[in-house]
Structure 1
Amino acid sequence: MNLHQFRFVQEAVRRNLNLTEAAKALHTSQPGVSKAIIELEEELGVEIFARHGKRLKRVTEPGQHVLRSIELILREVGNLKRIGEQYSAQDSGTLSIATTHTQARYVLPVPVAKLREAYPKVNISLHQGSPAQVARMLIEEVAEIGIATESLVDYPDLVTLPCYEWQHVLVVPSGHPLARKERVTLEDIAAEPLVTYHPSFTGRTRIDHAFAARKLTPRIVLEAIDSDVIKTYVRLGLGIGIVAEMAVRDESAAADLVVRPLGPLVGQNVARVAFKRGAYLRQFVIRFAELLSDRLDRNLIAKALAGHGSDYDL
């Protein structure tokens, strides 16, 4: 048996048992993938996949155990490569970050700049997506570190740590009637056309729960993943907007928008930093995590990765 066979099996599962897609992802031929998997099954003496003709239909029960072992083996192979990179080039390499648009646009610029100052030979690769896509990129080792608000805690393959708290805010045009109210209610917001985030981004779940708890149905006229897009449509008069507070830090001096905090109405959100469980982290990855929050340090991260506790309070 060899690592190629392990990678073929793993990629076949990732591609929903489509060997043609698995072969494309691995830059090889479909017959080669099929032959390698069959040879591994023959060597192990078990069927990893149940088949209908030549097509893979499902993972067998022994196949599930084989897959778990393959995951462990390939993860440790990846760790070996990173250890080699770490000690052959202590201060260079590529830091791959998976994150959402809001984090990339409003939170990460300062930590990224500080990391580049400390490690000028380190290149930064930003991968943006939904929180679910951030989790998937970490699990598939496209990225080494992930930052998002929603759903990262739902993945057992990830170790997550709370990074910082933030709240949503209401943004309204300066001439809007709500701009004259110091305390806006959810009832006030529900009576207006609303522009806010897509359901899978930037704490939208918390917004929905807050309205549902008051038995209110907001009139959402536009959903977006980009805070700047939301502010643009509010300025155009499409409606009032709800965005993350970090998206309006530069709006305090703007004369055309008024900002009202919604923390007491909607609640606080927690941005989390995540790593793949069992991963070996290079020194500049740990340093970048420390730059994200003064609550994070290498000892805390090491304890979390070692499995000492599943969560830590802010």
Structure 2
Amino acid sequence: MDLLALRYFQTVARLEHVGRAAEKLRVAQPSLSRTLARLENELGVPLFDRHGRRIRLNRFGTAFLRRVDRALAELDDARQELDDAAGLERGTVTVAAESLLALTDPLRTFVPGHPLVDVRLSQASAEGMTEKLRAGDVDLCISSQPLAGNDIRSRVLLDEQVFLCVPSGHRLAGRGHIGLADLEGEPFLTTRPGYWQRALVERLFAKAGLELHIVCEGDEAAVLFQLIDAGLGLALVPSLGLRPETSQTVVWLDVDDPDCRRVLSVAWREDTYLSAAAQRFRDHVVEHFHAPAGPRSR
């Protein structure tokens, strides 16, 4: 039983698809299938139920995957720990976030000072980030929602107000602040389900007993203010997005509800080894958000 076979099995088990696993591993599908067959022969039990081209982990495979995940994670941690002990000023940091906008400023100051650290980013919902942490696919998560798990630790980066953004000519634009009842029947721009903006607006509308009317679901923060300015709808936006260029095209209004806030946190798994590079990046992000900030334009 060699490590390569175990890594092949782990990938196929997670995807439950030999073709996609072969593409991810960059190996020929017949070679991957032969490796799996040899592993099952060595173990003496089938690890998958096969139905034509479809495969599913069976009870033997499910039990074996738990052990393989644990063993490979220990080996990966050991290799990283030795690299860190040897003082290598390099490494890879993998980070998942609901919105990458929160990372742009910390990256602007981190990357020049750590030229040998490879930072890799991905975008995911809270559920997706939890899965990535569980699978060891990422080191850190930047989340605006709690990530479930007793082994997940987090630190608050930012507790900020969330504003309502409206077109400059909107009926509410001159109000300064609004109540939730003022939003009845208004079209809203928000994210797909699973992301914090969607969870927040659904929670606020449910509390007020209002029906939410969504006209746009998307993740392109760069075009959000253009869509608002075009009159398509309204949106809830955190104060982190409050910049001089956006305040000229849309109007930012206070929402008279104490729950209209966003808590941004960095999360990591406590039961796995966090590389020196990942620790440096985590600490840098914490320092960035905890540093005194100047006043924002509005």
TM range (shorter): 0.7 to 0.9
**What is the aligned partner in structure 1 of residue 83 from structure 2?**
85
Mark the CA change 1:296 to 1:266 in structure 2 (over 3 Å): closer, same or farther: closer
After TM superposition, the structure 1 = structure 2 runs for residues 92-241 of structure 1, keeping only pairs within 5 Å, are 92-101=90-99, 104-105=100-101, 107-150=102-145, 153-154=147-148, 158-241=152-235
Q: Please tell me whether the aligned partners of residues 139 and 158 of structure 1 are also in contact (alpha carbons under 8 angstroms).
A: no
- 5+ residue gaps, structure 2, are 291-298
Tell me if 1:283 matches 2:276.
yes
Alpha-carbon distance in structure 1 between the residues aligned to 2:254 and 2:25? 49
Judge conservation of contact 2:177–2:255 (CA < 8 Å) in 1. no
Partner of 2:4: 4
Which residue does the alignment assign to 2:13?
A: 13
Alignment RMSD? 3.0
Give unmatched runs, 5+ long, in structure 1: 298-314
1:202: how far off? 3.4
Q: Secondary structure at the match of 1:237?
A: coil
Tell me the residue number matched to 1:262: 255
- Is residue 197–residue 243 contact of structure 1 (8 Å, CA) maintained in 2? no
Amino acid at match of 2:7: R
Tell me the amino acid that sits aligned with residue 123 of structure 2.
Q
**Stretch deviating more after TM superposition (212-221 or 67-76):** 212-221
Residue type matched to 1:78 in 2? Answer: D
Relative to 1, partners in 2 of residues 1:43 and 1:196: Cα closer, same or farther, differing over 3 Å? closer
For the structure 1 residues 223 and 29, does the alpha-carbon distance in structure 2 shift closer, same or farther, using more than 3 Å as the test?
A: closer
**Offset of residue 80 of structure 1:** 2.2
Matches of 2:289 and 2:63 in 1, distance apart? 35
1:54-93 aligned at under 5 Å gives the runs: 57-93=55-91
Pair 1:95–1:76, CA change in 2 (3 A): same
**Which deviates more from structure 2 when the two are superposed, residues 212-221 or residues 124-133?**
124-133
- In the TM superposition, what is the alpha-carbon distance from 1:170 to its structure 2 partner? 0.5
Asked if the contact 1:169–1:259 (Cα under 8 Å) also holds between the matched residues in 2, the reply is yes
Amino acid across the alignment from 2:68: I
In structure 2, C-alpha distance between the alignment counterparts of 1:127 and 1:57, rounded to whole Å = 28
Letter in 2 for 1:143: V
Per-residue deviation, 1:8:
1.9
SS in 2 for 1:22: helix
Closer, same or farther: CA 265–185 of 1 in aligned 2, 3 Å:
farther
| Farther-moved stretch of structure 1 (160-169 vs 184-193) | 160-169
Shift of 1:179: 1.9
Percentage identity across aligned positions? 27
Q: Which amino acid aligns with 2:62?
A: Q
Describe the SS at the equivalent of 2:271.
coil
The count of corresponding residues between Structure 1 and Structure 2 is 290
Q: Which residue of 1 aligns with 2:296?
A: none
Would the aligned equivalents of 1:99 and 1:146 in 2 still touch at CA under 8 Å? yes
User: Could you say what secondary structure the match of 2:274 adopts?
Assistant: coil
Residue 46 (structure 1) aligns with: 45
Contact persistence 1:228–1:247 (CA under 8 A)? no
1:145-178, Cα deviation, whole Å (9 max, x unpaired): 221224x613677544443323321012333231
Asked if the contact 1:161–1:274 (Cα under 8 Å) also holds between the matched residues in 2, the reply is yes
8 Å CA contact 1:167–1:267 kept in 2: the answer is: yes
Higher deviation after alignment, 282-291 or 1-10: 282-291
Does the CA contact (< 8 Å) of 1:167 and 1:262 recur in 2? Answer: no
> For 1:244-263, what aligned pairs fall within 5 Å after superposition?
244-250=238-244, 254-262=247-255
| Offset from partner CA, 1:85-108 (integer Å, 9 cap, x none) | 32345322332322233xx22x22
Distance 2:256 2:12 in 1: 45
1:91-141 Cα distance to aligned partner (Å, 9 max, x none) = 22332322233xx22x22332233235434323322234444444444444
Shift of 1:209: 1.5
Other-structure match for 1:22 = 21
Separation in structure 1 between the aligned mates of residue 190 and residue 63 of structure 2, nearest angstrom: 44
1:309 is matched with which residue? none
Cα deviation, residue 295, structure 1: 11
- Kindly tell me: are residues 143 and 39 of structure 1, through their superposed partners in 2, closer, same or farther at Cα, counting changes over 3 Å? same
User: Residues 133 and 49 (structure 1 numbering): CA distance in 2 closer, same or farther, change over 3 Å?
Assistant: same
Once the two structures are TM-superposed, the CA of residue 207 in structure 1 deviates from its matched residue by 1.2
Determine if contact 1:168/1:266 at 8 Å carries over to the other structure: no
The alpha-carbon deviation at position 57 of structure 1 amounts to 4.2
What residue is the counterpart of 2:265 in the other structure? 272
